[in-house]
Amino acid sequence: MNEQDNLQASWAENIIIADADHLDRVAFDLTVNFERMLNRRIPQADLARWIDCIALDGGVREGDNHTHVIFIHSKEKTAFDNFAPNHFENNIHGQAFRDNLGEFTLSAIPIETGVGGERLLFDTMSLVCQQKEVKRVMVVADEDKEWDDLRRLLREIDDEKRITLFSMRPMPGGNFRQEILGYSLMSALGIRGEELGGMK
């Protein structure tokens, strides 16, 4: 499979897998809601900041870590609408950055015709979880489409792996941790806690 060829060159200890179309929709919804609530323009989400927040929520700490971030997107969608940088092929795929959490390498994998997005995310997750080098896996999935399959998969995963699933609402549990996706997106969108604290 083409997406597996993209991933198998080397395995990072930390893997982030994101349904990019779902992530972009959630960022849009939050932007619209908070612009109305805060009565100000919300900028595009800072992609690197969002990745840092997901990594921290998934258990990555300061140090010389390596994290591979995999965005799975529909073939007709060539860019994020609500993140910067945004273009999958030109600005994201094959790029990398380094900060206090270590090095992050980015991949963007389009869904080929005839392959459902949830199936590709599930297959990628299954492949990643089989790798002994991988210690932490963080997944952003559409809870309305992908959750049941992922939960079944994770029942069989090695307990030594730390798996964290991110969604917008608490979901029935399993052999994984859960975090609310909205918190990382609020940080990436520049929404400050004190702004919310001052609201009636």
What is the structure's pLDDT at 5? 47
What is the structure's pLDDT at 151? 82
Q: Are the C-beta atoms of residues 177 and 165 closer than 8 Å to each other?
A: yes
Pairwise pLDDT comparison (173 vs 127), residue with the higher score:
127
Q: How confident is the model at residue 7 (pLDDT cuts 50, 70, 90)?
A: low
| Average pLDDT of the segment spanning 11-16 | 96
Token reading at 91: 């600005």
Task: For residue 69, give the H/E element and its range.
Answer: strand 66-74
What global pTM score does this model have? 0.91
Helices (H) and strands (E) in the chain, counts: 7, 9
Provide the H-helix boundaries in the chain: 2-7, 20-38, 47-57, 117-129, 147-154, 181-188, 193-197
Each residue's pLDDT tens digit, 42-81: 999 999 999 999 999 999 999 999 999 999 999 999 999 9
Token reading at 127: 């492949």
β-sheet bridge partners, residue 69: 16, 106
| Average pLDDT of the segment spanning 166-183 | 86
Pairwise pLDDT comparison (144 vs 104), residue with the higher score:
104
What is the structure's pLDDT at 200? 47
Q: How confident is the model at residue 118 (pLDDT cuts 50, 70, 90)?
A: low
Q: Are the C-beta atoms of residues 138 and 111 closer than 8 Å to each other?
A: no
The most confident of 7-11, 50-54, 141-145, by mean pLDDT: 50-54
Mean pLDDT of the chain: 89
| Average pLDDT of the segment spanning 144-150 | 81
Cα angle: 193, vertex 196, 199; to 5 degrees: 150
Q: Are the C-beta atoms of residues 125 and 138 closer than 8 Å to each other?
A: no
| Average pLDDT of the segment spanning 3-30 | 84
Compute CA 189 distance to the chain's CA centroid, rounded to the nearest angstrom. 15
| Average pLDDT of the segment spanning 152-160 | 79
**Dihedral, CA of residue 117, residue 120, residue 122 and residue 125, to nearest 10:** -130
